[in-house]
Chains A and B, each alone.
Chain A
């Protein structure tokens, strides 16, 4: 994940070439549950208009949708843009075509994760959950504070059920893509 503006913006000045286009990409995305609305997109830009991230950067949901519809699979899946959605669902509420952009982003992220482009931050959170059952591990300090406020002792998460679920859902396989990678990059 880049944190600079240069890395965020896609290359607008390069013409799109046939070899960059995967004509099946949009159907592949629309085939996933939640992605059905993609093919209805009119590229009207209502999504970009209400986007809180677009208000402070040059990220535009409409551009992501446009690139998906064009078939720029490699560009879309490897770009930082798909990780810039804050999931506020405003675009989803306002879309006259019921595209459900946030669902489309989820599908794109899931695809990107399988190609090795997961957000490091989210991956770290998932590892924490796999290890502790919660995204914030309990500490003695917090337990003391809970005690002081008269709160009951927090129950330990059921790790057996949690690891079984994550493994049956195939999450182990996803993590194995990232095994051995330097996570401190």
Chain B
């Protein structure tokens, strides 16, 4: 299987996010998926750019799709913001012929061409739908039994379903099923499906903090060994933002590791915490790593 891949702006360039890229590369290689980076990828111009000018946003996102189309490949991305941007281009081009013309006209000025034939795929959906749980299970070398995870799907992989067409968007279970296949427990807790306020970071930090505080309190009450995020913004909020919330609202016992989704798979596939960048996260992952060392059983897939 061969896919073009767009990493986005955040994943490859933030200290606590490069582990997302490392784990994704390792997991896909382990599963036999060949990936080709989008050449000289540019910003996908997600919702914040859309807020300034929707036409610029769509045309910029279409640039990376055009590159994938040129290579004759579908486009995979681990970033939910990028995923949303690419899906929106296709959706808009399909639904609004006038906008399709406008986007293509703008691309032509940069000697680019996009016909709308590239399917944009989210990494997690791809793992579930195209790879499948049987295959994932067969590639396991470690069982994650005894590890309690709090999975956050985030908003932009799922909503709105009309645009993204993944699975019912408010109570999804597909990504939990993969974690459970790996032997871990995916804890259901109040607030795990609620927005973390990530897109407010940078435009209204106080508001972003207020929304995040509730999410972290929910997660803390759930007593998980680690949170697991899919979205880059969720990770920035829960991992980097944790210290802000702890100090600002005086919450003493806040210390939750926050993993990127494919890092969990990578651990079950036998990669070491260091290889997938767990030491780079802002919120220490050491309690989780210690628990993995002490409790995780070796050698069992079943």
| A39 part of interface (Cβ distance < 8 Å) | no
CB distance from A135 to the nearest CB of B (A): 4
In contact, A109 and B18 (Cβ under 8 angstroms)? no
Interface residues of B in 132-183 (CB under 8 A from A): 155-156, 159-161, 169-170
A169 touches B55 (CB 8 A): yes
Chain B interface size band reads 35 or more
> Which of A139, A150, A156, A165 touches B59 (beta carbons < 8 Å)?
A165
Q: In whole angstroms, how far apart are the Cα atoms of A107 and B90 in the complex?
A: 19
Q: At the interface, yes or no: B270 with Cβ under 8 Å from chain A? A: no
Instruction: Flag if A165 contacts B110 (CB, 8 Å).
Output: yes
Is A87 touching B109 in the complex (CB atoms < 8 A)?
no
**Interface readout for A37-75 with B: 1 if CB under 8 Å, 0 if not?**
000000000000000110111000000000000000000
In the bound complex, residues from chain A placing their C-beta under 8 Å from that of B206 are: 3
A84–B200 contact, CB under 8 A? yes
In the complex, chain A residues 96-133 whose Cβ is within 8 Å of any chain B Cβ = 100, 102, 105-107, 109-110, 113, 118-126, 129, 133
Contact B63 A129 (CB under 8 A): no
Once the chains are docked, how many angstroms separate the CA of A134 from the CA of B82?
A: 12
Pairwise interchain contact A157-B53, C-beta atoms closer than 8 A:
no
The answer, yes or no, to whether A14 is at the interface (CB within 8 Å) is no
Query: From residue B58, how far is it (CB to closest CB) to chain A in Å?
Result: 8
Residues from chain B with a CB closer than 8 A to the CB of A134 are: 9, 13, 42-43
Residues of chain B within 8 A (CB-CB) of A21 are none
Find out whether the CB atom of B59 lies under 8 angstroms from the CB atom of A168.
Answer: yes
Contact B47 A87 (CB under 8 A): yes
How far, in whole Å, are A142 and B206 apart by their CA atoms in the complex? 28
Q: Please state if A165 and B63 are interface contacts (CB–CB under 8 Å).
A: yes
The answer to whether A118 touches B52, judged by C-beta atoms less than 8 angstroms apart, is yes
* Residues of chain A contacted by B198 (CB below 8 angstroms): 86
Contacts A83-B203, A136-B9; is A122 near B43 (CB within 8 Å)?
Answer: no
Q: In the complex, are the beta carbons of A164 and B110 less than 8 A apart?
A: yes
B10 contacts partner chain A, Cβ-Cβ < 8 Å: yes
The contact sample of 10 A-B pairs, CB cut-off 8 A, is A33-B98, A56-B207, A87-B47, A90-B155, A92-B160, A93-B160, A136-B9, A145-B280, A146-B18, A157-B42
B-binding residues in A (CB < 8 A): 1, 3, 33-34, 52-53, 55-57, 83-84, 86-90, 92-93, 100, 102, 105-107, 109-110, 113, 118-126, 129, 133-139, 141-142, 145-146, 149-152, 154-158, 160-162, 164-166, 168-171, 174
